[in-house]
């Protein structure tokens, strides 16, 4: 495999990736549509929740950790992320169970919903109205927030809006998240050439690299895992995401770069290590200290550091911007890689 950067501005090559790039560009629209579709159901669910505050909130399903990352610093009651198919043994009628199920067929989420209904919990599930999960959410205290697409972020934004309205989470305005996604889509549009397109520039930087992806805040760290996953799928290469203590040994074990090395004399095909930093602007002294250590280790080994920065906005909007920026870069990386 080799990287042909001319393909990133070639209209015929871009046409071959039109479906993927169009899906990325429509991310903001999916968030707006999901918020509109679920508005009435959210109002109904909020009305049910006004009588009393739950003893605890249990987020079930595979995306429960995203809710935990947003809610833990804010939620006034105990919050538990439970990604398995069952619920904690102590869960009962005093508790609120929330579930994100963007996939139409999700047996694990359906099992968790059915168990929550059986125990008499208040259940709120964001899913497609004709999905397996919705079929299991038939109960007196169960509410389905209908989602038309299987977009994970749009599903999460709908649930976070509900949790904010009942006083269990921070503000998460769907329009703000959608506007942040639209801004990324404009900046990284395939119609913008290499000179002014940050995603294409990042794709070129990753063309001959095995990236180590790091995010300082809790949400940026989660975005790092999603971006690394996108890079792995796009390139078939290893892309690691982790905390500073996990990435530092990899950086320190990297062979130091010699300025006198002839890059054309080495035909081993080894890929270079690159540190990719996702910066969501969080002012965290621990994160700053970890970034300093990572940059110092990278500089000592001659490892290049690339940074993706996002602007102002809510935590969820900045998280969404980081993920979409990384996915655009992964899409352009996949487009530029061709068989020899």
Q: Which of 168, 130, 116, 142 is nearest to 44 (CA)?
A: 142
Share of the chain above pLDDT 90, in %: 69
With H, G, I as helix, E, B as strand and everything else as coil, classify residue 54: coil
Q: What is the DSSP letter of 8?
A: G
State the Rg of the chain over Cα: 22
Average pLDDT over residues 245-256: 92
Q: What are the CA-CA distances from residue 239 to residues 88, 170, 231 (Å)?
A: 34, 32, 7
Question: What is the full DSSP assignment across 122-190?
Answer: EEEEEE-TTSHHHHT--STTEEEEE-SS--HHHHHHHHHHHHHHTTSS----HHHHHHHHHHHHHHT-T
Q: In this predicted model, what pLDDT tens digit does every residue of 52-97 receive, in sequence order?
A: 789 999 998 777 888 988 998 889 999 999 887 788 999 999 999 9
Q: How far is CA 311 from each of CA 54, 282, 308, 321, rounded to the nearest angstrom?
A: 35, 10, 10, 9
Helix (H, G, I), strand (E, B) or coil at 68: helix
pTM of the complete model: 0.92
pLDDT at 247: 96
Burial class (CB in 10 A: 0-12, 13-18, 19+), 236: exposed
Which carries the bigger pLDDT value, residue 213 or residue 110?
213
Phi, psi torsion values for 57, nearest 5 degrees = -115, 125
The CB density around residue 130, as the number of other CB atoms within 10 Å, is 9
Contact between 122 and 97 under an 8 Å Cβ cutoff? The reply is yes
In whole angstroms, give the CA distance from residue 199 to residue 195: 11
pLDDT digits (tens, 9 = 90+) for 322-337: 999 999 999 999 999 9
For 144, residues 6+ apart whose C-beta sits below 8 A from its C-beta are 41, 125, 126, 127, 129, 134, 137
pLDDT one-digit tens code per residue, 7-33: 999 999 999 999 999 999 999 999 999
pLDDT confidence of residue 72 = 84
E runs forming strands in the chain: 2-3, 57-60, 79-82, 96-101, 122-127, 142-146, 209-215, 240-241, 272-279, 304-309, 337-338
């Amino acid at each position: 495999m080799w990287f042909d950067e001319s393909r990133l501005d070639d209209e015929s090559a871009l046409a071959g990736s039109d479906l993927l790039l169009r899906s990325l560009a429509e991310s903001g629209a999916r968030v707006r549509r999901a918020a509109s579709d679920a508005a009435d159901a959210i109002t109904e669910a909020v009305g049910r929740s006004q009588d009393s505050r739950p003893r605890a909130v249990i987020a079930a399903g595979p995306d429960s950790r995203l809710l935990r990352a947003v809610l833990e610093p804010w939620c006034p009651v105990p919050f538990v992320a439970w990604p398995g198919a069952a619920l904690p043994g102590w869960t009962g009628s005093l508790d609120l169970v929330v579930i994100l199920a963007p996939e139409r067929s999700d047996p694990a989420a359906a099992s968790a919903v059915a168990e929550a209904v059986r125990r008499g919990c208040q259940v709120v599930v964001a899913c497609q109205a004709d999905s397996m999960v919705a079929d299991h959410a038939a109960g007196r205290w169960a509410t389905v927030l209908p989602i038309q697409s299987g977009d994970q972020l749009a599903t999460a934004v709908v649930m976070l809006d509900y949790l904010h309205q009942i006083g269990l989470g921070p503000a998460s305005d769907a329009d703000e998240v959608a506007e942040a996604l639209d801004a990324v889509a404009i900046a990284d549009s395939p119609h913008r050439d290499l000179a002014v397109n940050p995603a294409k520039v990042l794709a070129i930087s990753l063309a001959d690299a095995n990236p180590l992806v790091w995010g300082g805040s809790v949400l940026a760290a989660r975005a790092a895992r999603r971006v690394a996953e996108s890079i792995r799928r796009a390139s078939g290469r290893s892309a690691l995401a982790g905390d500073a203590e996990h990435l530092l040994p990899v950086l320190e074990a990297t062979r130091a770069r010699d300025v006198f090395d002839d890059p054309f004399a080495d035909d081993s095909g080894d890929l270079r290590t690159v540190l990719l930093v996702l910066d969501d602007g969080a002012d965290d002294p621990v994160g700053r200290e970890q970034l300093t250590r990572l940059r110092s280790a990278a500089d000592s080994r001659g490892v290049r550091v690339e940074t993706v920065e996002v602007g102002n906005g809510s935590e969820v909007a900045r998280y969404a911007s980081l993920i979409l920026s990384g996915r655009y870069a992964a899409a352009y990386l996949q487009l530029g890689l061709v068989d020899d």
